[in-house]
């Protein structure tokens, strides 16, 4: 039997060892992501630390937020660049 060994990248290690507090489930994230995207696009202060923490560690939810941000920006005729930088990874 051959075992394939994958080395973790520094980014993978960072995301796996992120602090889990404040905790938010994927369902909770899904319920709030539209509000968060609007906050990012408007340039308003980020008042959702639990959502930000969840997106930093959950690739699926991060991609959902990123896709929604791009679609909303296109619909509103807004440059998504600044909001994408604020979305970041952590």
Confidence of residue 6 (pLDDT cuts 50, 70, 90): confident
pTM above 0.85, yes or no: no
* pLDDT tens, position by position, 38-81: 999 999 988 888 898 889 888 999 999 999 999 999 999 999 99
Place of tokens 């791009």: 70
CA 40 to chain centre: 11
Asked whether the beta carbons of 69 and 41 are under 8 A apart, the reply is yes
* Domain range annotation of the chain: 21-87
3-state secondary structure of 22: coil
């Amino acid at each position: 039997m051959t075992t394939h060994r994958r080395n973790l990248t520094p980014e993978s290690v960072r995301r796996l060892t992120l602090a889990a507090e404040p905790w938010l489930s994927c369902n909770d994230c899904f319920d709030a992501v539209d509000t968060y995207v609007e906050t990012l696009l408007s340039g308003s202060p980020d008042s959702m630390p639990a959502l930000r923490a969840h997106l930093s560690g959950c690739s699926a939810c991060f991609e959902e937020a990123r896709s929604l941000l791009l679609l909303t920006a296109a619909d509103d005729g807004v440059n998504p660049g600044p909001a994408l930088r604020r979305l970041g990874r952590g």
